[in-house]
Amino acid sequence: MSALFFPAAVWLDAIPLTDQGRSPVSVTREEKFSENELANASKRRYFRGVKHTWSWTWTFLPDEDEQTIDGYAARSTIKELIGNRGSDHVLKFYDTSWSYEEYSVFLDSYQETLIRRDSASNIFFWEVSIGFVEI
């Protein structure tokens, strides 16, 4: 099951990520089951857990934090935070009342494309796509 939502704020490892150019967050929920066949030919299903995956994209994301409209983490900080693919992180989604849901995640995907270089102001704009999987 997949859905879109737009949290008031997204934090990664206690660092707020910019909202500038961020698409709605796509979340997929996958339920895990074990199924056993019994001697009387019936089946018994055991619920093992739920695994979430999240992904979103920023368009026209500046390179430096000072260049974002809200002063939060831009492309260079995000790239530094995520480190190597597969490393574990804490992902928080805040709503408008500043209550949050916290998840332990690891990086599943990261892709960036330079879409504009403004030579007059020396600002680089990127399209960055990122995805996380719950541990």
Distance CA 94, CA 30 (A): 22
Question: What phi, psi does 80 have (nearest 5°)?
Answer: -70, -40
Q: Is residue 112 part of a domain?
A: yes
Q: Is residue 42 part of a domain?
A: no
Q: Is residue 100 part of a domain?
A: yes
Above 70 in pLDDT, residue 86? no
Q: How many domains does the chain have?
A: 1
**3-class SS of residue 59:** strand
Q: Is residue 40 part of a domain?
A: no
Above 70 in pLDDT, residue 122? yes
| Angle at 110 (CA atoms; ends 53, 24), nearest 5 degrees | 55
pLDDT digits (tens, 9 = 90+) for 7-33: 899 999 999 999 999 999 999 998 888
pLDDT digits (tens, 9 = 90+) for 31-84: 888 888 888 888 888 878 889 999 999 999 999 999 999 999 999 999 999 885
Whole-prediction pTM: 0.82
- How long a stretch of residues is the chain? 135
Tokens of 61: 């994301």
